[in-house]
Chain A
Amino acid sequence: MHKEFLMGNEAIALGAIAAGVNLIAGYPGTPSSEVLETAAKHRSEDIYVEWSVNEKAALEVAAGASYTGARSLVTMKQVGLNVASDPLMSLEYVGIKGGMVVLVADDPGPISSQTEQDTRHFAAFSKLPCFDPTSAQEAYEMIQEAFEYSEEYGTPVFFRPTTRVCHGYASIEIKDEEEYTSHTAEGFVKDSSRWVIFPRLSYQNHKKIEARNAALSEVFSNYSRNKIYPAGEKNRTSRKGIAASGISFTYALETLETLGMTRLLKVATPHPFPEKLAVEFLEGLDEVLCIEELDPVLERELTYLCGKYHLPVKIYGKLTGHTANAGENTRDSVYQNISDYLGISACRAEAVSACEDTSFVAPPTLPIRPPVLCAGCPHRASFYAVKAAMKGRKTIFCGDIGCYTLGNAMPLDMVDTCLCMGAGLGIAQGIGHIEPDTSCFAFVGDSTFFASAITGVINAVYNQANMTLIILDNSTTAMTGHQPHPGTGRTMMGELVQKINIEAVLRGIGITTVETVNPLDHKAAVSCVKCTADLPGVKAIIFKSPCIAIDKPEAPLFVEEESCISCKKCIRELGCPALVIQNNKVTIDASLCTGCTLCAQLCPTGAIQTTGGDRHE
């Protein structure tokens, strides 16, 4: 063993490698992406790693590997599980052979997601056992145990860290390579009574799954990570307890270490719930406060157990309004919840300023700083071209998931709808069927196109929709950290492979008008949109220009003071972070400008110029 400073996701990847994982597949999504990336970086030769085209594909690839007896890991974020749910629901009925861990990172807040859905609920729904780590160190150890349980019970298992576990760093005790478990797959053994799902098999296996989960509830009551912490000396006779899970458990523990320990239940396996242990915890208590994020899973389980065993214990939490039912918990919110519950003043001795506000001076109004498209981002140019071309027309701009969702911000204001991966296409079609006089656009990025937009394109062509599909092709998966995808010609195994050509895919589906244009050539881009948008049927424009983060920048531009008439058109129309006002003059922040020249192209007096020199740092 040795210590390393690791991100939770890195620790999880190294834990999976230590557990002898043979195959890892996933689709990028914050906060899960670094697991697969770390595994690819640290993998031994015999571990196969891929970014799959989407979560459904990833889950199926991992299931196949597991059928051979290999240990497999799938990684995704919580909304990705919705995509993967079709194979997963059925897979649970079929079962697996090699240990299979389905890592789904939940995102309380949400910080970088569309929903605050709770994978612990999905565990109960799909009947999968679920492991819920409280820290990076625990995640490292727990994922190894998750593989063991999965294999022993022949079921895929959920491993469900949340953002603060995924992205928190810690000095973590990890195994040396000699201590790793090595796992060899036996190979696929043909047996259609086992691997081919039929109603009769599902019925038989359903009964087995229910019996197994009942047995697992017992087993999990003895699992060392589910634990009752006794009350401290001060609270020995107190009849108040606290139940907690995930990162919130660490917030609760640190709070109780300050305020005095009460009896505390830590739940590491929300499904199957460790019933016996929970009943032992409840006995002798009058009240329990549940500290958890997202849905009230512990709260409902404990309330249920009180009914089932006739225990006179009041259970508090989200359902009773004692804790917030939406958003992320913080050290401070948990401190407040627990001190309210215990009837202790929430004022910390050390945080005098926050409580005793006699000397408190209100701060000046803080500037709002929402995330924006980067300076030089080609998406800005694409949106601007469509906006300019369609000015004065009745339009709808359906957005999608990726950096380009940020096209919604002022001054571009070019995203009218955004739902989930690939949904913009269907929404544009639906609106078009009801409002035929509206010019309908769907914007989709290159990675999202491969992940989940192709079905929507086929649907549009088959059903004779009238719409313009805009592909924002920046040759990467930018938002989640520049993962390769089928259009980049690189795999996570380091191979250079044939790039899948988006234009060829669209033509193959039957779209005859497919234009490719550089969005940073504003005139050409506008004219392309004008020529294309009014054609009947489905037509596509591919705006092709690489993400600034993967491309070498050009020399920054500058504003020639004598020529600038301070009309501020560049700022009003583009909202580029490199364009700033200093002393009432427009200037260009050379440290941000990538020399994309979009602003120069729209300046009415030609005041924005290229230096022509080399870029200086």
Chain B
Amino acid sequence: MNKNIVLCGVGGQGTVLASKLIAAAAMKKGISVMSAETIGMAQRGGSVFSHIRLGEHLHSPMIAKGTADIIIGFEPAEAVRMLPYLKEHGQVIVSSHAIMPVTSTLSGADYNGKEMILYLKKVVSNLLVVDSEKACHELGSSKVLNILLLGAAISGGALGLTEEELREAIKDRLPEKFHDLNYRALHYFQSQQSDPLSSNICQ
């Protein structure tokens, strides 16, 4: 199984932990992993990304454009920024909640992410938009966005990992007091899907 995964968002959103959990879960299955991420100055509220590659016979931790199986966007504009990496018919999972950069706040530019979501809907055939604001509110924490999106990503099978495998990774890597909250975040998407009245996920 060879998979190229791109995680992207804004510094401080938890992309690094999400990439560690994917790697840990894959390693436990005996799959080799390579990854690369933004470290340093850009982490201070700048655009950040992680490239994760699963499989054998890999040489470089970086992904080439047009070869990502899945992009997990923690922020609408950041998902659009990374779109050139998506392969044909690849999947995009994106949080609908926009993060306004200080530059836009200052200039009065009205960025709210909506036109990014509309654009993604136009050009990505396999798109999952997650209403993360509502989900985080229901889960009672804004800190679980990363796990919530991982839960959405495993549901479509594009990661090649199961909920149980990611639960194990959470158990191994996070302090015990955060286990329950993160398990709930991981399962949130599936529980919403089985609820036909839920309006939380728009395809």
B32, B39, B46, B64: the one contacting A370 at CB < 8 Å is B46
Question: Which single member of B44, B101, B108 contacts A406 (CB below 8 Å)?
Answer: B44
| A contact residues, total (Cβ < 8 Å) | 59
10 residue pairs of the A-B complex, CB under 8 angstroms, read A164-B36, A169-B33, A348-B66, A354-B84, A364-B80, A367-B77, A367-B101, A369-B10, A371-B45, A571-B106
- A-B pairs, top 6 by smallest CB distance, nearest first, are A351-B66, A168-B61, A112-B40, A331-B64, A250-B60, A250-B59
CA distance A352 to B88 in the complex (A): 7
Interface-side segment among B111-119, B147-155, B188-196: B111-119
Q: Which residues of A contact B108 (CB under 8 A)?
A: 581
Say yes or no for A515: interface residue by CB 8 A criterion: no
0/1 string, A331-345, CB within 8 A of B gives 1 = 110010000000000
Q: Which residues of chain A are within 8 angstroms of B23 by Cβ–Cβ distance?
A: 5, 169
A367 and B44 contact, Cβ closer than 8 Å, known pairs A164-B61, A617-B141: no
Q: Looking across the interface, which residue of chain A has its beta carbon closest to that of B64?
A: A331
10 additional contacts (CB under 8 A) given A171-B34, A330-B64, A367-B104: A5-B23, A30-B39, A31-B40, A169-B23, A169-B33, A331-B65, A364-B80, A577-B45, A581-B105, A617-B142
* A111 to B39 Cα, complex, angstroms: 9
User: Is B59 touching A351 in the complex (CB atoms < 8 A)?
Assistant: no
CB distance from B76 to the nearest CB of A (A): 10
Are B65 and A332 within 8 A (Cβ)? yes
Task: Note all chain B residues with C-beta closer than 8 A to A480.
Answer: 40
Docked Cα-Cα span, A34 to B142, in Å, equals 29
A372:B44 contact, CB within 8 angstroms: yes
B87's nearest neighbour on chain A, judged by CB, is A350
Q: Does B126 contact A (CB under 8 A)?
A: no
> Helix, strand, loop or mixed for chain A's interface?
loop
B2 within 8 Å of A by Cβ? Answer: no
A376 at the interface (CB under 8 A from B): no
Interface residues of A in 406-439 (CB under 8 A from B): 406, 409-411
* Contact across chains for A368 and B103 when beta carbons are under 8 A apart: yes
Residue A366, interface by CB 8 Å? yes
CA distance A603 to B89 in the complex (A): 51
A577 near B102 with CB under 8 A, answer yes
Please give, as numbers and ranges, the residues of chain B lying within 8 Å of A592 by CB-CB distance: 12
Q: Complex Cα distance A411/B108, Å?
A: 13
Contacts of B41 in A (CB 8 A): 30, 111-112, 371, 406, 479
Q: Identify which of B27, B42, B59, B77 contacts A254 (C-beta below 8 A).
A: B59
What 0/1 readout, one digit per residue, does chain B (16-43) give for beta carbons within 8 Å of chain A?
0000000110010000111111011111
Task: Report the Cα distance A253→B58, complex, angstroms.
Answer: 10
Q: Residues of A contacting B105 with CB < 8 Å?
A: 571, 575, 579-581
CA A348 – CA B33 in complex, angstroms? 24
| The residue from B34, B43, B115 contacting A170, defined by CB atoms under 8 A apart | B34
Q: Are A367 and B66 in contact (CB under 8 A)?
A: no
Q: Digitize A557-590: 1 where CB-to-B-CB distance is under 8 Å, 0 elsewhere.
A: 0000000000000011001110111000000000
B residues adjacent to A (C-beta < 8 A): 10-12, 23-24, 27, 32-37, 39-47, 58-67, 77-78, 80-81, 83-84, 86-88, 100-106, 108-109, 111, 115-116, 119, 122-123, 141-143
Q: How far is the CB of B145 from chain A (nearest CB, A)?
A: 10
Chain A residues in 8 Å Cβ range of B103: 367-370, 410
Cα–Cα distance between A169 and B36 once the two chains are bound (Å): 6
Instruction: Report if A363 contacts B (CB, 8 A).
Output: yes
> Which residue of chain B has the shortest Cβ distance to A586 in the bound complex?
B105
B195 to chain A, nearest CB (A): 26
Instruction: For A348, list chain B residues within 8 Å (CB).
Output: 64, 66-67
Shortest CB-to-CB span from A7 to chain B, Å, is 9
Report the separation of the CA atoms of residues A354 and B83 in the bound assembly, to the nearest whole angstrom. 10
Interface residues of A in 16-69 (CB under 8 A from B): 30-31
Q: A410-B106, A581-B100, A581-B105 are in contact. Are A361 and B64 (CB under 8 A)?
A: no
In the bound complex, what is the Cα–Cα distance between A30 and B42 (angstroms)?
Answer: 11
Of all chain B residues, the one with the shortest Cβ separation from A4 is B27
Question: Is A511 in the interface zone, CB < 8 Å from B?
Answer: no
Instruction: Assess whether A373 is interfacial by the CB under 8 Å rule.
Output: yes
Residues in B neighbouring A572, C-beta threshold 8 A = 106
User: A218: shortest Cβ distance to chain B, in Å?
Assistant: 29
CB contacts (< 8 Å) of B81 on chain A: these are 366
Contact A575 B106 (CB under 8 A): yes
Does residue A251 face the partner (Cβ distance < 8 Å to B)? yes
Cβ-defined contact, A361 with B35, below 8 A = no
Q: What's the nearest-Cβ distance from chain A to residue B121, in Å?
A: 11
Whether the pair B143, A617 counts as a contact (CB closer than 8 A) is yes
- A167 and B88 contact, Cβ closer than 8 Å, known pairs A354-B66, A369-B45: no
Q: Decide: B60 and A254 in contact? CB cutoff 8 A.
A: yes
Residues of A within 8 A of B37 (CB): 167, 169
Provide the bound-state CA to CA distance between A611 and B119, in Å: 39
Give which listed residue, A167, A350, A575, contacts B39 with CB less than 8 A.
A167
> Does A144 sit at the interface, judged by CB under 8 A?
no
**A208: interface (CB < 8 Å):** no
Taking CB atoms, residues of chain B closer than 8 Å to A350 are 66-67, 87-88
Measured in the bound complex, the distance between the Cα atoms of B79 and A366 in whole Å is 10
Enumerate chain B residues within 8 angstroms of A5, measured Cβ to Cβ: 23-24, 27, 33
Minimum C-beta distance from A59 to chain B (A): 23
* Minimal beta-carbon separation of A380 from chain B (angstroms): 11
| CB 8 Å contact bits of A363-395 with B (1 = contact, 0 = none) | 110111111111000000000000000000000
Contacts of A112 in B (CB 8 A): 40-42
A411 and B123 alpha carbons, distance in the complex (Å): 36
Contacting pair B66 A168 (CB below 8 A): no
Q: Chain B residue with minimal CB distance to A112? A: B40
Pick the most buried of B24, B64, B109: most chain A CB atoms within 10 A of its CB.
B64
Give the distance in Å from the alpha carbon of A399 to the alpha carbon of B14 in the complex. Answer: 30
A330–B62 CA distance with the chains assembled, in angstroms: 8
Q: Are B64 and A332 in contact (CB under 8 A)?
A: yes
The CA-CA distance from A354 to B66 in the complex, in Å, is 7
Nearest CB of B to A206, in Å: 39
Q: Which residues of A contact B102 (CB under 8 A)?
A: 372, 409, 575-577
* A369 touching B46, Cβ below 8 Å: yes
On chain A, the residues within 8 Å of B36 by CB distance are 164, 167-169
A194 contacts the other chain (Cβ, under 8 Å)?
no
Q: Indicate if A90 sits at the interface (CB-CB under 8 A).
A: no
Q: Provide the bound-state CA to CA distance between A580 and B99, in Å.
A: 9
Docked-complex contact A368 and B60, CB < 8 angstroms: no
Interface centre among B103, B111, B122, B142 (most CB of A within 10 A): B103
Q: Is the CB of A171 within 8 A of B33?
A: yes
A48 to chain B, nearest CB (A): 27
Q: Say whether B34 contacts A169, CB under 8 Å.
A: yes
Residue of chain A at shortest CB distance from B33? A171
- Residue A222 at the chain B interface, CB threshold 8 Å: no
Closest to B78 in A: A369
Give the complex CA separation of A580 and B59 in angstroms: 43
Which of B33, B34, B42, B60 sits near A251, CB closer than 8 Å?
B60
Q: Are A164 and B62 in contact (CB under 8 A)?
A: yes
**Which residues on A sit within 8 Å (CB–CB) of B33?**
5, 169-171
A409 to B62, CA, bound (A): 30
- Supposing A169-B33, A577-B45 touch, asked if A31 and B27 sit within 8 A by C-beta, the answer is no
**Which residues on the A side are within 8 Å of B11 (C-beta)?**
371
Q: Which residues of B contact A332 (CB under 8 A)?
A: 64-65
Residue of B nearest to A248 (CB): B60
- Select one of A254, A335, A361, A364 contacting B115, CB under 8 A: A364
